[in-house]
């Protein structure tokens, strides 16, 4: 297990509170039906495309190590990046129990990660984790439309890991659509996992009293952020998971070279 250097907290933010909230949502027995459907569809796609292949994979926000258990047994390299120490402990125990010597856990803030350039076949950030990336502001009014359309933390993390792809590699991001149905699913999920939303209805993100924060996206807002990371729209495909979610696919090479279905 490797530890990433920790950047300084901003405005006295209590990261441990958010870590606990993240763990509570991930390990809860409750699952909103639309969120569960999106996650199941996401995993069906990953299994059909990557299971059984010897690949170098980076899992950004690996949680309890679930995806390492599925994809690491084929060999190759599986790097799990996780910020929450308690979740990292579950991952470490899981992979040790399963004998996954090629699954390497990297603990710390993704914004401080220095992934090796041109190394990974696949980089993914699943289960709506891309929507958690942001500066930690005590004043929620600082998350303006301009900020959300050019989120420097999202841009930095995604840009670093996109450049860590091989020329034939691919990045996958699971994100909420910015639609009322997605906001309702978020609110239902957080309230049923012990959290207390504090954002006004219709905001482009949901924040909770416990420190959790999760953005929703339009095509335009996501493409704007990806452009900030040096990724052109021609490399991006929006794959429908259901009415509240996309699995966004970003090709290191052109979509023509990769043979990716660009229908959305």
Q: How far apart are CA 39 and CA 41, in angstroms?
A: 5
**b/e code 194-212 from CB counts within 10 Å (16+ = b):** ebebebeeebbbbbbebbb
- Which secondary-structure segment (H or E) carries 81? strand 77-82
Q: What is the span of the domain harbouring residue 35? A: 2-258
Give the model confidence (pLDDT) of 95-127 as tens digits: 999 999 999 999 999 999 989 899 999 999 999
In a domain, 263, yes or no: no
Cα-based distances in Å from 252 to 28, 163, 224 = 35, 8, 17
- What's the pTM? 0.87
Q: What is the CATH number of the domain that holds 229?
A: 3.40.50.150
Provide the domain count of the chain.
1
Give the model confidence (pLDDT) of 62-97 as tens digits: 999 999 999 999 999 999 999 988 899 999 999 999
Mean pLDDT by 10 residues, the chain (264 residues): 38 53 62 96 97 98 96 97 92 97 94 92 97 95 97 97 96 98 97 94 95 96 98 97 98 53 37
Within 10 Å of residue 66's Cβ, how many Cβ atoms?
Answer: 18
134: β partners: none
In a domain, 264, yes or no: no
In a domain, 120, yes or no: yes
Contact by Cβ (8 Å): 63, 91: yes
Beta-carbon contacts of residue 264 (< 8 Å; ≥ 6 apart)? 237, 238, 239, 240
């Amino acid at each position: 297990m490797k530890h990433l250097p920790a950047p300084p907290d901003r405005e006295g933010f209590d990261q441990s509170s958010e870590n606990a909230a993240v763990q509570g949502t991930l390990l809860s027995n409750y699952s909103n039906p639309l969120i569960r459907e999106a996650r199941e569809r996401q995993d069906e796609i990953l299994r059909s495309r990557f299971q059984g292949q010897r690949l170098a994979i980076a899992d950004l926000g690996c949680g309890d190590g679930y995806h390492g258990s599925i994809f690491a047994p084929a060999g190759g390299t599986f790097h799990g990046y996780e910020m929450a120490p308690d979740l990292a402990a579950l991952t470490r125990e899981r992979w040790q129990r399963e004998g996954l010597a090629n699954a390497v856990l990297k603990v710390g803030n993704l914004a401080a990660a220095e992934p090796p350039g041109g190394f990974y076949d696949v980089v993914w950030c699943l289960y709506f984790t891309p929507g958690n990336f942001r500066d930690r502001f005590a004043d929620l009014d600082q998350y303006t439309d301009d900020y959300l359309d050019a989120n420097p933390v999202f841009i930095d993390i995604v840009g670093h890991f996109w450049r860590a792809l091989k020329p034939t590699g691919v990045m996958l991001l699971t994100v909420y659509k910015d639609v009322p149905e997605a906001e309702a699913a978020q609110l239902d999920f957080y309230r049923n996992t012990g959290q207390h939303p504090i954002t006004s209805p219709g905001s482009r993100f949901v924040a909770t009293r416990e420190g959790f924060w999760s953005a929703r996206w339009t095509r335009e807002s996501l493409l704007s952020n990806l452009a900030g990371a040096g990724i052109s729209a021609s490399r991006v495909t929006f794959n429908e998971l259901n009415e509240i979610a996309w699995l966004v696919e970003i090709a290191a090479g052109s979509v023509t070279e990769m043979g990716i279905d660009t229908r959305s």
